[in-house]
């Protein structure tokens, strides 16, 4: 049997004077349930009986320490344990592992090494073979670290893992590997914080079943730069909408219903990113690369970018009060430090120490983005991201980040550089000061494990994981959110109504659909009749991606004698940057002999120009018959090239194809709204300020509708409801 109540404790329960608990064997651990206290998950630690309760003797000293006493406040427990740790153990807490896939339920030799030798306890989990495998792997990790005094559990984490796939199929009553929801940008398009809060509640339940207690999300950067490649991970460009969505997301993830202070066994720590916002990247170039290291503020709008953090994620309901952790972005917030120090945000005493710690009073964990302390080999290399401190050693970079206020280093499995940084602090400020500073980080890090109940029960039942993760009601909630995230931009002459009327003529004459690419024939045939020849079709359905206009840097341009910097295009056809700045606002790198990163008068070719050709060719083949275009957007796009050729135009941000077919067939009514502006042309993109929201001329289509923020249509026409009134 999978569960077995141990007989001696079962017997004890029958005795009036006996202890009020029982043990049950589960897959890989023992579950201790007690009448007046939390459940305890235990593998090898002895149990302590006190006051009619049971506790885990994690350090095996035979007495009940404050940190082992679940009756004590979480902060007091964290302080007690931090004071007992030696500096090597604290250094381990300050590490955050590189990405760890879980193809099987065994712990790898490398994982054993960083858990035992480096004392690491924060593990970033990526793909998993199945919910049950993830649960068993977690249990093996937790049993392993429970056997290492003082028994600090692993705090496993994940980047967002609930985003849908176009080809996934939804069947009411069926489950899945995990519930499928829109991207953050898609959630924003619902303009409904309650949907985002529900997502957080569902996802946190799934995370905890998988053994995950920290979410490296939400990404609440204010996406005021339309060319930025990480736009899709945000809630868009409007500060008010971003604030509302950020607050709802954190509340959903962190709140355990019924818990006195909101924290409990169903809570997942939210690590909001990226302070103070990575949105205003100069020219749209991303800071994962040296060529995108600068965030700029030509509109003087720096304070607005902090609002989603200050007014949203740091002021949440549900009892938890604030997001428990923050991740700064790689960028150099250029010209913001009053002392003129232009370094990456993770190294900035002004950005972290002054603005975040002192001004905002944030006492949660500050964790760096991944690999900020590693060397960068080339301008275009995807490796270390040590912006502004390239000439320092790896240990010196750790030291500078800790002085700035950082607690933890993303992507670092090695305690060595942290210990070197400790010795540097001792040399500069003395042993007592060093101990106090590092112990302060330890308290913050431990607090996030105490509040989420990991010290009581870090284990998870594989059978429960298989049942909870992707269960039917969660799948249904995600699918419904997908429906509400799609934006109808155009419905010329009520074309959708005409398609639906054809469908209602009867099964003998269903609508004939021509779909040239991107959708499963079997799926289309559930709603329509599939035809391969547009001449036979009643309607064409064209699924395309938004323009992929490059990253803003081209090694070939550098080889030709240029500076390497090129435009990022939001249109399909080749783009000449005649309206770009002649002088960049920021620039410079130890590997460059210049500071001007301008790309004025250069041309870029979009990688998927053929998507536009597909629309034009389909329009020609269909003649006067309707063409429905569904474009998936990961950021704003110039749609002037294709809109006139579409009778119906949908914009979405990542949904199952099944949703699109339901919308085309009028099985559900569209309700999504644009969470950003769609620009009229590339000139307005070049002339907007990277840090200013909603400052572009929106495209006006052939039906005289402006594709502005909060625009969307339903069957009756342009939506003008309470959401539009509140946010536009």
For the segment 221-238, what is each residue's pLDDT rounded down to a tens digit? 999 999 999 999 999 999
The answer to whether 588 touches 296, Cβ cutoff 8 Å, is: no
The answer to whether 69 touches 55, Cβ cutoff 8 Å, is: yes
Report the pLDDT value the prediction gives residue 168, as an integer from 0 to 100.
82
Q: What is the mean pLDDT of residues 57-80?
A: 98
Report the pLDDT value the prediction gives residue 502, as an integer from 0 to 100.
66
> Maximum CA pair distance of the chain?
88
pTM tops 0.85: yes
Cα radius of gyration rounded to whole Å, the chain: 27
Binned at pLDDT 50, 70 and 90, residue 19 comes out as: low
pLDDT, tens digit, 9 for 90 and up, residues 432-468:
999 999 999 999 999 999 999 999 999 999 999 999 9
Give start and end residues of each alpha helix (H) in 486-550: 495-503, 521-524
Q: For the chain, where do the domains classified as CATH 3.20.20.300 start and end? A: 77-164+174-472
The answer to whether 292 touches 589, Cβ cutoff 8 Å, is: no
Q: Is the pLDDT score of 510 beyond 70?
A: yes
Bin 436: left if φ > 0, else alpha if -120 < ψ < 50, else beta.
alpha
pLDDT, tens digit, 9 for 90 and up, residues 584-614:
999 999 999 999 999 999 999 999 999 999 9
Q: What is the mean pLDDT of residues 631-636?
A: 98
In terms of Cβ atoms closer than 10 Å to its own Cβ (0-12, 13-18, 19+), residue 703 is: middle
Report the pLDDT value the prediction gives residue 10, as an integer from 0 to 100.
41
Q: What is the mean pLDDT of residues 203-211?
A: 98
Q: Which CATH class is domain 77-164+174-472?
A: alpha beta
The whole-angstrom separation of Cα 670 and Cα 664 is 10
Please tell me the least confidently modeled range out of 80-89, 499-508, 619-628. Answer: 499-508
* pLDDT over 70, % of the chain: 96
Q: For the chain, where do the domains classified as CATH 3.40.50.1700 start and end? A: 487-547+608-669+698-727
In terms of Cβ atoms closer than 10 Å to its own Cβ (0-12, 13-18, 19+), residue 526 is: exposed
In terms of Cβ atoms closer than 10 Å to its own Cβ (0-12, 13-18, 19+), residue 223 is: buried
The answer to whether 181 touches 484, Cβ cutoff 8 Å, is: no
Considering the chain, what is the average pLDDT of its residues? Answer: 95
* 371 contact partners, CB below 8 Å, separation of at least 6: 383, 384, 385, 410, 411, 412
Report the pLDDT value the prediction gives residue 419, as an integer from 0 to 100.
98
Tally helices (H) and strands (E) across the chain.
Answer: 21, 27
Please tell me the least confidently modeled range out of 173-187, 240-254, 373-387, 443-457. Answer: 173-187
Edge-to-edge, what's the strand order for the sheet holding 4-5? 4-5, 21-26, 29-34, 40-42
E strand residue ranges, 150-304: 155-158, 214-215, 269-275, 294-295
The whole-angstrom separation of Cα 112 and Cα 91 is 17
Report the pLDDT value the prediction gives residue 15, as an integer from 0 to 100.
39
Q: Is the pLDDT score of 362 beyond 80?
A: yes
The whole-angstrom separation of Cα 550 and Cα 548 is 6
C-alpha distances (whole Å) from 633 to each of 62, 232, 399, 613, 641 are 59, 8, 41, 17, 15
Coil, strand or helix at 630: strand
CB atoms within 10 A of CB 378: 12
The CATH number of 487-547+608-669+698-727, from 1.10.630.10, 3.40.50.720, 3.40.50.1700, 1.10.3720.10, is 3.40.50.1700
The whole-angstrom separation of Cα 459 and Cα 470 is 19
What are phi and psi for residue 260, nearest 5 degrees?
-60, -45
Using alpha carbons, select from 8, 200, 44, 142 the residue that is nearest to residue 462: 142
Report the pLDDT value the prediction gives residue 543, as an integer from 0 to 100.
98
User: Which stretch of DSSP H or E encloses residue 631?
Assistant: strand 627-632
Q: Is the pLDDT score of 333 beyond 60?
A: yes
The answer to whether 530 touches 515, Cβ cutoff 8 Å, is: yes
Q: What is the mean pLDDT of residues 100-108?
A: 95
Six token digits for residue 66: 């404050």
Map tokens 């604290």 to a residue. 90
C-alpha distances (whole Å) from 218 to each of 184, 243, 254, 435, 587 are 8, 12, 12, 32, 29
The whole-angstrom separation of Cα 13 and Cα 7 is 10
Binned at pLDDT 50, 70 and 90, residue 64 comes out as: very high
User: Which stretch of DSSP H or E encloses residue 514?
Assistant: strand 512-514
Q: Is the pLDDT score of 21 beyond 90?
A: no
The whole-angstrom separation of Cα 630 and Cα 539 is 13
pLDDT, tens digit, 9 for 90 and up, residues 40-55:
999 999 999 999 999 9
Report the pLDDT value the prediction gives residue 7, as an integer from 0 to 100.
40
Q: What is the mean pLDDT of residues 54-71?
A: 98
Report the pLDDT value the prediction gives residue 13, as an integer from 0 to 100.
42
Q: What is the mean pLDDT of residues 13-38?
A: 80
pLDDT, tens digit, 9 for 90 and up, residues 689-703:
999 999 999 999 999
The answer to whether 711 touches 491, Cβ cutoff 8 Å, is: no
Binned at pLDDT 50, 70 and 90, residue 4 comes out as: very low
Using alpha carbons, select from 71, 70, 44, 73 the residue that is nearest to residue 58: 44
Beta strands 269-275 and 325-328: pairing type?
parallel
């Amino acid at each position: 049997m999978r569960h077995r109540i141990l007989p001696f404790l079962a017997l004890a329960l029958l005795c009036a004077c006996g202890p009020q608990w029982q043990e049950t064997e589960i897959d890989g651990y023992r579950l201790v349930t007690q009448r007046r206290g939390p459940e305890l998950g235990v593998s090898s630690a002895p149990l302590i009986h006190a006051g009619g309760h049971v506790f885990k003797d994690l350090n095996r000293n035979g007495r009940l320490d404050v940190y082992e006493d679940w009756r004590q406040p979480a902060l007091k427990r964290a302080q007690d344990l931090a004071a007992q740790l030696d500096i090597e153990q604290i250094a381990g807490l300050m590490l955050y592992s590189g990405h760890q896939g879980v193809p099987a339920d065994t712990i790898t030799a490398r994982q054993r090494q960083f858990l035992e030798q480096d004392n690491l306890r924060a593990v970033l989990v990526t793909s998993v073979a199945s919910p049950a495998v993830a649960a068993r792997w977690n249990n093996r990790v937790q049993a392993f670290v429970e056997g290492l005094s003082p028994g600090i559990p692993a705090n496993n984490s994940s980047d967002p893992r609930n985003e849908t796939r176009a080809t996934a199929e939804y069947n009411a009553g069926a489950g899945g590997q995990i519930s499928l929801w829109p991207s953050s940008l898609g959630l924003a398009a619902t303009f409904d914080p309650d949907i985002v809060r529900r997502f957080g509640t569902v996802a946190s339940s799934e995370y905890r079943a998988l053994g995950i207690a920290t979410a490296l999300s939400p990404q609440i950067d204010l996406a005021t730069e339309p060319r930025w490649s990480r736009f899709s991970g945000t809630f868009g460009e409007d500060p008010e909408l971003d604030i509302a969505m950020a607050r709802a997301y954190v509340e959903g993830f962190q709140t355990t219903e019924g818990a006195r202070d909101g924290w409990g066994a169903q809570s997942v720590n939210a690590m909001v990113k990226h302070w103070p916002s990575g949105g205003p990247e100069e020219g749209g170039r991303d800071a994962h690369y040296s060529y995108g290291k600068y965030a700029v503020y030509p509109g003087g709008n720096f304070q607005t970018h902090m609002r989603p953090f200050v007014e949203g994620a740091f002021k949440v309901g549900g009892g938890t009060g604030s997001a428990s952790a923050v991740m700064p972005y790689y960028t150099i917030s250029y010209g913001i430090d009053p002392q003129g120090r232009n370094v990456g945000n993770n190294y900035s005493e002004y950005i972290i120490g002054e603005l975040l710690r002192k001004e905002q009073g944030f006492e949660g964990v500050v964790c760096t983005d991944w690999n900020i302390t590693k060397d960068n080999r080339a301008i275009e290399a995807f490796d270390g991201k040590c912006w502004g401190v390239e000439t320092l050693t790896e240990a010196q970079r750790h030291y500078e980040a800790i002085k700035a206020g950082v607690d933890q280093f993303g992507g670092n499995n090695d305690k060595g550089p942290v210990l070197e940084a400790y010795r540097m602090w001792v040399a500069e400020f003395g042993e007592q000061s060093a101990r106090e500073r590092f112990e302060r980080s330890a308290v913050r890090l431990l607090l996030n494990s105490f509040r989420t109940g990991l010290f009581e029960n870090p284990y998870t039942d594989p059978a429960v994981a298989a049942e909870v993760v992707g269960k039917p009601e969660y799948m249904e909630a995600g699918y419904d959110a997908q429906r509400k995230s799609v934006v109808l931009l155009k419905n010329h002459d009520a074309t959708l109504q005409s398609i639906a009327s054809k469908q209602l003529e009867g099964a003998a004459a269903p609508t004939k659909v021509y779909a040239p690419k991107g959708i499963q024939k079997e799926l289309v045939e559930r709603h329509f009749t599939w035809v391969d020849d547009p001449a036979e079709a009643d309607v064409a359905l064209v699924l395309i991606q938004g323009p992929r206009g490059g990253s803003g840097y081209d090694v070939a341009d550098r080889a030709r004698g240029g500076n390497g910097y090129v435009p990022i295009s939001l249109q399909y056809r080749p783009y000449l940057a005649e309206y770009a700045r002649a002088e960049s606002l920021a620039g410079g790198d130890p590997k460059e002999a210049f500071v001007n990163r301008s790309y004025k008068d250069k041309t870029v070719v979009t990688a998927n120009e053929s998507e536009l050709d597909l629309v034009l060719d389909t329009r020609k083949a269909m003649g006067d018959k309707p063409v429905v275009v569904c474009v998936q957007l990961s950021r704003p796009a110039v749609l002037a090239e294709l809109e006139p050729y579409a009778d119906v135009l949908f914009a979405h941000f990542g949904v199952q194809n099944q949703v699109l077919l339901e919308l085309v067939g009028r099985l559900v009514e569209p309700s999504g709204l644009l969470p950003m502006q769609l620009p009229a042309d590339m000139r307005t993109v070049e002339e907007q300020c990277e840090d200013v929201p909603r400052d572009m001329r929106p495209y006006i289509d052939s039906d005289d509708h402006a594709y502005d923020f909060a625009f969307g249509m339903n069957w009756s026409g342009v939506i003008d409801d309470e959401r539009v009134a509140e946010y536009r």
